[in-house]
Structure 1
């Protein structure tokens, strides 16, 4: 694991301090160097984004208000949901003979092509991917990293970014905001249970994604993890709206 995101020339301190980060292969520095436009747009989205309790503390599935808002920001900059397929061809060379300073096969046979059907990534532009994995099953992370690895090894992408939640960090903030909101309600309407699940450890989180990076799940593909945390909060209360 590397920490090129700590370099203020790569990620401005004002953005660095509002999220939790992890990476493999100096992903931030590499993407900043080889995908400058796309990386700058990622930073623009992160700089503009704030965690609004009325969007965040709302029961919802994998693509709730928060993730939809992030996707919309990327769409406005020309990023698209994209499926990446690729095909591998192989050739068998036999019956070798000298041809000048080289040795070549007289017989060449093409083996059947392998067509690999991919899956849809949330946001793709240039040669960079940004997936938003907020409340999916954590098995999605294995799929993501395995695909990034394959696409990178076949020279289809320069690297990838996963935006997810820093679960432990956000849980404390959520419990405080929810408790403050409950105190504004009549006693018979109060409910101590959070409307979202921040206890389950088997959903997509920064810790789960980092664990998979540590196990080498992305291979040589540079992957940057961005964890939305309490520092991303806009400071407003939850009002139930």
Structure 2
């Protein structure tokens, strides 16, 4: 039995895959209507273009910045919370907990992280941070926004459309439009001479796997951690950006 679940009555913005853990759906719906309203406004306004997907990099891409700015507009600010464990005034341990988006509400506090395209161990960091702050009473629930499964599967089609649009291409043209490593350039140089369908498919697979591979942050990697109990007992809202959020 999975540790995460859907509730189609909570956070129903079109184009997102939303999961909850540990009654997070009831918590946010019944006690954090202001937070729910903020999220709905941010998610409804958010769109991704195919050009961004082709050119976007890691955690500081224009996609991440777009989401981040929208959250800042609603006062979801970065915070660093210091904690200490003392025995008879002697500090035994101290920790610093940084959350990119944190907001205080009347009935508690919520933390939010955007993991658009980092290495997937960043999920472990976020969830462990949520767990510790929840146990300290500084966090009522945590939220993570990442790529949804439908978007993850659509990415290779985005690259195919991009390549078909600029065909016929040379390695020089591709290098100008994409940030290719020396190794990638060498591999693609051989694929440019394939017939059109084979060339487009092969280069799209290489580009997609090198930028948005299985070891990067996306919903499947996140739900796997939920099933392992990472972050428990902090209730979490998991938001996957779907392919429907792609605009021309």
TM-score (norm. length: structure 2): 0.76
Partner SS for 2:240: strand
Spell out the pairing of 1:85-234 with structure 2 (5 A cutoff).
85-90=82-87, 110=88, 112-126=90-104, 127-166=109-148, 168-189=149-170, 192=200, 193-194=203-204, 195-196=207-208, 197=210, 200-234=213-247
- Answer whether contact 2:78 2:101 (CA < 8 A) is retained: yes
**In structure 2, C-alpha distance between the alignment counterparts of 1:202 and 1:139, rounded to whole Å:** 9
**In structure 2, C-alpha distance between the alignment counterparts of 1:204 and 1:140, rounded to whole Å:** 8
**In structure 2, C-alpha distance between the alignment counterparts of 1:36 and 1:54, rounded to whole Å:** 35
CA-CA distance at 1:4 after TM superposition: 5.5
**In structure 1, C-alpha distance between the alignment counterparts of 2:56 and 2:35, rounded to whole Å:** 32
**In structure 1, C-alpha distance between the alignment counterparts of 2:150 and 2:38, rounded to whole Å:** 26
The structure in which a higher percent of residues are helix is 2
Of 42, 45, 55, the match for 2:42: 45
Q: Which runs of 5+ in 1 are unaligned?
A: 91-109, 237-241
Partner SS for 1:78: coil
CA-CA distance at 1:199 after TM superposition: 5.4
**In structure 1, C-alpha distance between the alignment counterparts of 2:4 and 2:153, rounded to whole Å:** 28
- Answer whether contact 1:138 1:202 (CA < 8 A) is retained: yes
CA-CA distance at 1:47 after TM superposition: 1.4
Q: Which runs of 5+ in 2 are unaligned?
A: 175-191, 193-199
- Answer whether contact 2:4 2:226 (CA < 8 A) is retained: no
CA-CA distance at 1:115 after TM superposition: 4.5
CA offsets, 1:108-140, max 9 Å, x none?
A: xx2523453224222111111110011111111
- Answer whether contact 2:11 2:36 (CA < 8 A) is retained: no
For this pair of structures, how many residues does the alignment match? 210
CA-CA distance at 1:82 after TM superposition: 1.3
CA offsets, 1:187-240, max 9 Å, x none?
A: 134664345545522211111111111111111110111111212222x1xxxx
TM-score (norm. length: structure 1): 0.78
- Answer whether contact 1:35 1:128 (CA < 8 A) is retained: no
Higher radius of gyration, 1 or 2: 1
- Answer whether contact 2:58 2:116 (CA < 8 A) is retained: no
**In structure 2, C-alpha distance between the alignment counterparts of 1:219 and 1:186, rounded to whole Å:** 49
Change (3 A) 1:199 1:48: closer
* Alignment RMSD (CA, Å): 2.2
Change (3 A) 1:5 1:115: farther
Change (3 A) 1:113 1:39: farther
- Answer whether contact 1:87 1:114 (CA < 8 A) is retained: yes
- Answer whether contact 1:83 1:120 (CA < 8 A) is retained: yes
**In structure 1, C-alpha distance between the alignment counterparts of 2:73 and 2:152, rounded to whole Å:** 31
Moved more, 156-165 or 187-196: 187-196
